[in-house]
Structure 1
Amino acid sequence: MQLWKLCSGVNITFLEILMNIRRTFGTFPFVVAISLLAIAGSGFAVVSSNTAFAQQQHFTAKLSGAKEVPPITSAASGMAAFDLNAAGTQMKYTLNVTNINHVIAAHIHKGSITANGPIVVNLFIPSKATGKVDGTLAQSSINSTSLIGPLKGKQMTDLLKLINGGQAYVNVHTTQNPPGEVRGQMSSGSATSASTATATAASAAPAPAPSTSSTPKY
């Protein structure tokens, strides 16, 4: 008897089809059918998992003098937005600042919210201190070759581990406050917040073009 004759013209569930296979053809084909179903299901789960992983990730850092360690009083503020591509190999960023003077550097540092730590990425290294900046301080991208200090020679996944573990912060340094004028811990953000920062940057007056050829001591 053919399976088609068992199922045709009948509103039948998939489980009933499997039971018909067992009754008609014996145990072995039934086991094979169940195994194929399990393999297909696990394959779908893997594809779904990989699809979920391969998505853009967004991070932000809200900067202020109060977040420096120790805190300082400053009228300056800022917002940094980072967009990691789906492959996890490149992170575009926009760093906006307000009411800040004489910027000499901006970086991502390794460190918790209560500690100061080493530089792991240069975000902005001007050839000389800026004037007053209200708008985009830096806009570029980061990849594994951008990593320095304790992350030199490592991969973007190592930077992501710091960020997701609350161990990465953005710090903007000035001549008045070389250790840092405004600072903020990096954390997972929404695409909306990252896009908003980018749109704000596009309409703001640009700062002097940065150079990332050297590693500062700040």
Structure 2
Amino acid sequence: MKGRIVAVVAVMALAALMALAGAMMTVGAQAQERTQEWKQGVVVPMTGDLEKPEPIETDATGLAIFWLNEDMSEMCYMVYVANLTDVNQGHIHAVEAGNDTGPSVVWLFPEGSTQPMVKPGETDGLLVIGTFTEEDFVGPMEGKSMSDLLDMMEDQTAYVNFHTEANPMGEIRGEFNVMNQSCDSLEETFSRAMGTPMGQPSPPSQPSLPY
């Protein structure tokens, strides 16, 4: 049963990503090169094995999908998870120099809040959909620009981390790898993060997008 849930979650995330890719628009010439990198959306697979300084043994997995609006002033995101229990917060973190971890710079969950909130029980599917601007930056990113955050993501000095009651320091984590993503690599990304090949088994029908 869990294998079927995981497959459905992966299909939902892929359907959402493809819809987003089709909806993206090109911005002005000055931002065109960076927009090209982001126009398909950036997918961050999350597992317990990626947690640092020590990996976490967990069945939970996830995918965080990020994409920019037309003028690159607002970041939109969706987070899909499987087997994640009692999640209470999720963030983008900045890696500190000489360390594998660092402080939160953007809150992703709960959406629109900077206070933890437990989602009781196991979550399988869409956990959160939201947006943020540079006004929402916290910690060392407070007062900085969206371009500064993109620099961190592209330099792989930022990561996504979701925390639970059982693992308050983080249960699933994922690294940004913006420059090396393409549509051709999506199936491998989904299989690695969700633990099953895409389309096996197929859900009875394509799920509706959450907007």
* Structure 1 length-normalised TM: 0.62
Q: Which of 187, 191, 203 is the equivalent residue of 2:177? A: 187
Q: Which of 20, 37, 42 is the equivalent residue of 1:59? A: 42
Q: Report the counterpart of residue 32 of structure 1 in structure 2.
A: none
Q: 1:205, CA displacement in angstroms?
A: 11
Number of aligned pairs?
154
Is the contact made by 2:89 and 2:118 (CA closer than 8 Å) also made in structure 1? no
- Residue 203 of structure 1: SS of its match in structure 2? coil
Is the contact made by 1:98 and 1:134 (CA closer than 8 Å) also made in structure 2? yes
- Residue 35 of structure 2: SS of its match in structure 1? coil
Question: Any stretches of 5+ residues in structure 2 without a counterpart?
Answer: 1-27, 111-115, 191-205
Q: Report the counterpart of residue 33 of structure 1 in structure 2.
A: none
**1:171–1:144 distance in 2 versus 1, CA, 3 Å:** same
CA distance in 1, matches of 2:183, 2:146: 20
**1:83–1:51 distance in 2 versus 1, CA, 3 Å:** closer
- Does the alignment pair 1:162 with 2:146? no
Is the contact made by 1:111 and 1:117 (CA closer than 8 Å) also made in structure 2? yes
- Does the alignment pair 1:74 with 2:78? no
Superposed counterparts of 1:170-181, under 5 Å:
170-181=160-171
Is the contact made by 1:65 and 1:183 (CA closer than 8 Å) also made in structure 2? yes
Q: Report the counterpart of residue 105 of structure 2 in structure 1.
A: 120
**1:54–1:159 distance in 2 versus 1, CA, 3 Å:** closer
Higher RCO structure, 1 or 2 (CA under 8 Å, sep 6+): 2
* Structure 2 length-normalised TM: 0.64
Q: Report the counterpart of residue 111 of structure 1 in structure 2.
A: 95
Amino acid of the residue matched to residue 175 of structure 1? E
Q: Report the counterpart of residue 12 of structure 2 in structure 1.
A: none
Amino acid of the residue matched to residue 203 of structure 1? P
Question: Any stretches of 5+ residues in structure 1 without a counterpart?
Answer: 1-47, 197-201, 207-218
**1:71–1:205 distance in 2 versus 1, CA, 3 Å:** farther
Is the contact made by 2:88 and 2:165 (CA closer than 8 Å) also made in structure 1? yes
Deviations 1:85-144 (A, max 9, x none): 2422111101110011000101100117x7110000000025334321001111011211
Greater C-alpha radius of gyration: 1
Q: 1:155, CA displacement in angstroms?
A: 1.0
- Does the alignment pair 1:138 with 2:142? no
Is the contact made by 1:93 and 1:139 (CA closer than 8 Å) also made in structure 2? yes
Q: Report the counterpart of residue 18 of structure 2 in structure 1.
A: none
Q: Report the counterpart of residue 207 of structure 2 in structure 1.
A: 203
- Calculate the aligned-residue CA RMSD, in Å: 3.1
